[in-house]
Amino acid sequence: MRISLQTKILIPVLGILIAAPATMVVLVDRYLTDVGQKDAQQALNTAESVFRQLLDNHSRDLLLRFRNAADESSYKAIAPLAADHSQAAEATIRNFLSDKLAEYDDDTAVMLIVPSGSKAPVGARRGVSFGVDEFARAAAAASAEALGGGTPAPVQMSLRGAVFDVVSVPILLPEGGQPVAALTVGIRLADKTVKELKELAHTEILLVADDQIVVSTLAGVDPAWLREIAVQGTGRSGAGKMSVPFEPVADPTTGEHFLALAENRALGGAEGGFHYVLLSSLKESRLALADTQQVLLDVGIASILLSVAVVWFSVRRLIHPLSELRDTAEAVGRGDFSRRITRFSNDECGDLAETFNRMTANLQASLAELEKTVETLKATQAQLVQSGKLSAVGQFVAGVAHELNNPLTAVIGFSDLLSQTVADEKLRPQLAMIAKSAHRCHKIVQNLLSFARQHAPERKFTQINATIDEVLEFMAYDLRTSDIKVVRDFEATLPPIWADPHQLQQVFVNIVGNARQAIGAARASGQIMVRTRVVAGFVRIEITDDGPGISPENLAKIFDPFFTTKPQGQGTGLGLSLVYGMIQEHGGTIVAKSELGRGATFTVDLPISTEAPVLRGESAQAGGRLARAAKPRGTSVLVVDDEDWILSLARELLTWDGHEVETARGGQEALDILRRRHFDVVVSDWKMPGMNGIQFYERLLVEHPRLANRIVFTSGDVINDGFKDFLLRNGKTCLSKPFPIGEFQDAIASMLSTPSTPPIPTKA
């Protein structure tokens, strides 16, 4: 389904424009709700502190009021009657208290005269349902405190559904002395008093006694809901105050929300005490919150509508030039490069139009260049194909050179053996010629392996004269048949350089090879001079030919990749560019100088190493040349190889030395022979089909551990790093094929002088 760019822009933008204000409204609403509730809770906590303080102040005022009254003469006058047990005395006291009740306000409900001793208290009451005796029992603790001479303290208590402040003060005789009675007064906390407390505390108040609401400042609410809130708050276990419930509660009758705070400890003691519940209305805060929400909603809707209009207009203005650009681009895609776009605005879209116009103009100019590039790419492809062929040939040559080592071993070995045994002096020169030719073939094979095999980059101290000699010897036949004379002008005391000899061989092969080809293309014979010197901390190699030279325009490009002056298919143009890179990697420089008709000179400067070379042994196939030892005779040797002429040569050489020889064409056959008889020395090829030399050695460690210490390895391949590490770890010798018969005989003699104690197995 195709969706226009305008729709793709409008849908997410509108989604963001709607989601952002909506999210803001929700977050602000939640924030204001939380803040309002926290403010209400804080105000309720403050009101609770004020309410408790007002209760305490009310009780202290009553205490001061009646303490002063007890000091009046009228109370002192009836003090002696408190000890009189006559009915007349009780009647007088009762009438006195009734008159006093009439003098006080309506909240004063009970007054008692409690004599010291066992006489029952006498009192008067007003507007209560309980008797004087019941009140006296409830207030007995306060009365006893006053009679005992303690500090009077007001207490609160509930009795028969009413809440009282109880004050008890001592009454003394006119002449002083111990209290003869106590005046105990119960003042009811009536609606009037609680409403006064409400005005001061700015909160609604419920007084609860015996799970019943005895006083309430709320009117017009559901009584059952109010009773549920009161009982729920005051009936919780544990000490301290808590909000009941934790979230605001709504009156089901009016819908008004309140925040409640309850004292769940009975004021006035565990018995006869009462509780209170404070309710703070959230009506005003919720109305303010509703107004704020409405404002936020209105502003959000207005912002969304305005933003939608602005975005729609902007997108329309942006899409129009893009549509024009699309149409023009389609025309250009069909090949009409004459189309142009009018700059329609001074912004990025206008810049895009200008860029598009420049692009169409450049396309016309680039078309012809592109065609030329295609032709160049075709030529480059042919060069790369030729390079791939050369690489494949190199791998093939490496394999063939390896295969030649085994027959060369037999040729060199048998020719050396015959030269020592033949009696006819006329045959000796022919045998020497065979040996010399075989050794030359061996050297050619080694050079082929060195140049054809890929080598991992390896820097070491290198004698540059020896490296150049190896290259010239490798190319000697090609140079000689081309009638090119090589002149060496080497400085004899050149210091070593830290370099990769294999890479340097490639460098000199390329330079000398190019010189030979240049001379051969210009004349029938020529000369190449190779000179080495030390110049200012560098070893300088100059290779000069007397060929036709290089033109100035080509001289500036000879190190560029794929540049060649040879006909197509005869060169890749990569040789000198690779040479340049190798010399740069070695920290050196290469410079070419030439004049047409006067040959060319390539100068290579390589830095001299500042560290002294560490001399190492050259035998290395096993870590050092074998010391020549006496040749014991009459011992037994087992030769293991997969080539018949190697087995024949070894049998002849060892039999000639007086050894008893047996041969095996593989590792498994050799193990079968070892199970039948014992041998003093084992000679084993490294690479064999089936079980190779390393696997054969590991079996010897298990089955014939003493013989494993007397094993000589041979190989017609270049020893890789893994096999070299194996030889060094186990202290073993490996003879490279073709090997001189003297070196082979010395290796056997050295093994026979080695103790036959089992070697200690080493971990790979």
- 128-168 confidence digits (pLDDT tens): 888 888 888 888 888 888 888 777 788 888 888 788 888 88
Of 522 and 389, which is predicted with more confidence?
A: 522
**Cα of 672 vs its chain's centroid, Å:** 57
Q: What's the average model confidence in pLDDT over 352-371?
A: 75
Summary count for the chain: helices (H), strands (E): 20, 23
Q: Check residue 202 and report its DSSP letter.
A: T
- Which of 281, 298, 326 corresponds to the end of one domain? 281
In a domain, 147, yes or no: yes
pLDDT band at 256 (very low <50, low <70, confident <90, very high): confident
- The total number of structural domains in the chain stands at 5
The reply to whether 578 and 522 lie within a common domain is yes
Looking at the fold, whether 428 and 543 belong to one and the same domain comes out as: no
- Does a structural domain hold residue 316? no
**pLDDT above 50 (res 625):** no
Mean pLDDT, rounded, for 104-114: 82
* Parent domain of 394: 344-448
Q: Who has greater pLDDT, 249 or 685?
A: 685
pLDDT, greater one: 612 or 416: 416
**Does 552 share its domain with 598?**
yes
Q: Is residue 419 part of a domain?
A: yes
Residues 6+ apart with CB under 8 A from 294: none
Kindly state whether residues 601 and 476 are assigned to the same domain.
Answer: yes
* Least confidently predicted of 37-41, 475-479, 675-679: 37-41
Q: Are residues 164 and 243 in the same domain?
A: no
8-state DSSP, 262: E
Percentage of the chain beyond pLDDT 70 is 77
CATH number of the domain to which 277 belongs: 3.30.450
- Is 334 within the bounds of a domain? no
Higher pLDDT, 396 or 115: 115
Residue 654 scores a pLDDT above 80: yes
Same domain? 271 vs 348: no
| Lowest mean pLDDT, pick from 117-126, 177-186, 456-465, 743-752 | 456-465
Considering the domain boundaries, does residue 376 fall inside one? yes
* Residue at which a domain ends, from 416, 448, 480: 448
Between 104 and 169, residue with greater pLDDT: 169
Give the DSSP H or E segment for 68: helix 5-70
Q: What is the pLDDT of residue 246?
A: 43
Confidence of residue 286 (pLDDT cuts 50, 70, 90): confident
**Tell me, what's the pLDDT at 759?**
67
Is there a domain that residue 475 lies in? Answer: yes
When mean pLDDT is compared across 287-296, 333-342, 387-396, 486-495, the lowest value belongs to: 387-396
Instruction: Tell me, yes or no, whether 588 lies in a domain.
Output: yes
Residue 40 within any structural domain of the chain = no
Do residues 183 and 242 both lie within one domain? no
Average pLDDT, the chain: 77
pLDDT at 460 over 80: yes
For the record, the structure tokens of 234 come out as 């005051």
Q: What pLDDT does residue 475 have?
A: 85
Nearest alpha carbon to residue 112 among 144, 86, 85 = 144
The answer on 512 and 383 residing in a single domain is: no
Say whether pTM exceeds 0.85: no
What's the pLDDT at 716?
A: 76
How confident is the model at residue 243, as a pLDDT? 42
Q: Is the pLDDT of residue 182 over 90?
A: no
Q: What is the pLDDT of residue 387?
A: 53
CATH of the domain at 673: 3.40.50.2300
CATH number at residue 588: 3.30.565.10
| Digit-coded pLDDT (tens) for 9-28 | 778 877 887 787 778 778 87
463 and 439 share one domain: no
- Report pLDDT digits (tens) over 25-59: 788 778 877 777 777 777 778 877 887 787 788 77
- Same domain? 743 vs 640: yes
pLDDT at 640: 93
Domain boundary among 389, 419, 448: 448
CA–CA gap between residue 322 and residue 596 (Å, rounded):
60
Among the listed ranges 519-523, 750-754, 760-764, which one has the minimum average pLDDT value? Answer: 760-764
- Is residue 629's pLDDT more than 60? no
Q: Does residue 542 or residue 353 have the better pLDDT? A: 542
Q: Place 273 in a pLDDT band, splitting at 50, 70 and 90.
A: low
Give the span between the Cα atoms of 648 and 653, in whole angstroms: 9
Q: 170 near 149, Cβ under 8 Å?
A: yes
In the predicted model, is pLDDT for residue 80 greater than 60? Answer: yes
Q: In this model, does residue 232 exceed pLDDT 80?
A: no
**Cβ proximity of 124 and 96 under 8 Å:** no
Mean pLDDT of 622-633: 44
Preceding peptide of 738 cis, ω within 30°: yes
The answer to whether 325 touches 341, Cβ cutoff 8 Å, is yes
Task: Confirm if 145 and 168 have CB atoms less than 8 A apart.
Answer: yes
Same domain, 666 and 576: no
Contact status, residue 531 vs residue 542, Cβ threshold 8 Å: yes
The pLDDT score that the predictor gives to residue 684 is: 92
pLDDT above 80: residue 241: no
Which residues are bridge partners to 634 per DSSP?
Answer: none
pLDDT at position 348, please? 67
- Same domain, yes or no, for 423 and 472? no
- The model's confidence at residue 218, banded by pLDDT at 50, 70 and 90, is confident
**What per-residue confidence (pLDDT) applies to 620?**
35
What confidence tier does 604 reach under pLDDT thresholds 50, 70, 90? very high
Do 555 and 602 touch, CB atoms closer than 8 A? no
